[in-house]
Structure 1
Amino acid sequence: MTAPVIGVLALQGDVREHVTALTGAGARAHPVRRPTELDAVDGLVIPGGESTTISKLVDIFEMREPIDKRIAAGLPVYGSCAGMIMLATEVLDGRPDQRGFDGIEMTVRRNAFGRQVDSFEAPVEISGVPGGPLHAVFIRAPWVERVGATVEVLGTVTDGPAAGRIVAVRRDNLLATSFHPELTGDLRLHAYFVDLVRTAT
């Protein structure tokens, strides 16, 4: 079976960690910074980082229109943390000038779990990912407050003050999580996305 080519948007954030995880999950992965590099991929990861910075750099590197067009054409995209924010149709507590890709009909609250010092780890069961809960790392993470009718909720926080908050969603070929699976060594979520890309190509 041919390994799908998956790009990681390499403007800011956990690029190297996602490339390593995707490679371990059976993909050919490499950084993407230019429209010509985007043309060559079967799927795309928008990594965690700082969503307002990523929003600005997407315009500076002239990547917004190419990504919008590929998403509209069905390109599988996975956004983690800031990447989730970039895929949302509505962002609460964001900057007025920040813009995403409007790929998943959902309302996301930026930095919902608190500041950097409030980062935490928790087990999260993800629908469609076998093997028990994932060890999820939340760093200045968003959560989802509302989803549209076409959006599937894949995972929620089960314990603590944030119990019940939505932290993983999917709409068709678009996947998003509040947490950072690239930091744990558990490749199951990346394997889930690699399978999604294989199915779509």
Structure 2
Amino acid sequence: MVKIGVLALQGAVREHVRSVEASGAEAVVVKRKEQLDEIDGLILPGGESTTMRRLIDKYDFFDALKNFGTQGKPIFGTCAGLILLASDIVGQESAHLQLMDMKVERNAFGRQVDSFEAALEVKGIAEDFEAVFIRAPYVVEVGEDVEVLAVVNNNIVAAKQGQYLCSAFHPELTDDHRMTAYFVEMVEAAKKELAS
């Protein structure tokens, strides 16, 4: 059984843990960077990206997270987690982890009151995924190695690049665990590959 960590600095940690367990993997609540050595994959949950970055710096997670990704271990960023993965953020001089070749717009769909749900086709995962958007970002443009998985009103809301997966919505807030299960499969495949 693979171990999937949920970065527990801020955001919907408990819901992600539930979704990981429902998808047949072991969930680990990650509060110290040393724990990254014990897990096979990592979820960067939703929350507030600027606050999360401050906490990542405060608890000395930045280099450890970057190393985790560059050594081939999968990372799934949801909402604020998507922003943390991006190489470029509209209106910001510098991005955060810069692991995915994409440009994102923060709070692209508006404020909290503009939160909404949409039935999405997520390529290779679901034809009717009920996606919950809360102060969500979206991806403005992607590099050639990035595969677009889902779109809302011509805006990219889910994508994959190598071992990185991201969604602008919150897959952990419903009982549909197909997106998390897809990530679990990515982690299982990566673990086999890294072991060989």
TM-score interval (norm. to shorter): over 0.9
- In the alignment, the residues of structure 1 paired with residue 18 and residue 90 of structure 2 have an alpha-carbon distance, to the nearest angstrom, of 31
Question: How many residues end up aligned between the 2 structures?
Answer: 191
The aligned counterpart of 1:196 is 186
The aligned counterpart of 1:50 is 48
Q: TM-score when scaled to structure 1?
A: 0.93
The aligned counterpart of 2:99 is 103
Runs (5+) with no aligned partner, structure 2: 192-196
The aligned counterpart of 2:148 is 153
- In the alignment, the residues of structure 1 paired with residue 132 and residue 91 of structure 2 have an alpha-carbon distance, to the nearest angstrom, of 21
- In the alignment, the residues of structure 2 paired with residue 199 and residue 105 of structure 1 have an alpha-carbon distance, to the nearest angstrom, of 22
Residue type at the aligned position of 1:91: I
- In the alignment, the residues of structure 1 paired with residue 118 and residue 91 of structure 2 have an alpha-carbon distance, to the nearest angstrom, of 24
Runs (5+) with no aligned partner, structure 1: 158-162
How do 1:10-49 and structure 2 match up within 5 A? 10-49=8-47
How do 1:1-201 and structure 2 match up within 5 A? 3-93=1-91, 99-130=95-126, 132-157=127-152, 163-201=153-191
Runs of 4+ in 1 over 3 A off after TM superposition: none
- In the alignment, the residues of structure 1 paired with residue 90 and residue 12 of structure 2 have an alpha-carbon distance, to the nearest angstrom, of 23
Contact 1:9 1:31 in 2 (8 A): yes
Residue type at the aligned position of 1:122: A
Please state whether the residue corresponding to 2:15 is helix, strand or coil. Answer: helix
Please state whether the residue corresponding to 2:122 is helix, strand or coil. Answer: coil
- In the alignment, the residues of structure 1 paired with residue 96 and residue 124 of structure 2 have an alpha-carbon distance, to the nearest angstrom, of 26
- In the alignment, the residues of structure 2 paired with residue 139 and residue 93 of structure 1 have an alpha-carbon distance, to the nearest angstrom, of 20
How far does the alpha carbon of each residue in 1:48-68 deviate from its partner, in whole angstroms, 9 at most, with x for none?
000000000001011111111
In the TM superposition, residue 171 of structure 1 has moved relative to its aligned partner by 0.2
- In the alignment, the residues of structure 2 paired with residue 136 and residue 120 of structure 1 have an alpha-carbon distance, to the nearest angstrom, of 8
Q: TM-score when scaled to structure 2?
A: 0.95
Backbone CA RMSD of aligned residues: 1.1
Contact 1:55 1:99 in 2 (8 A): no
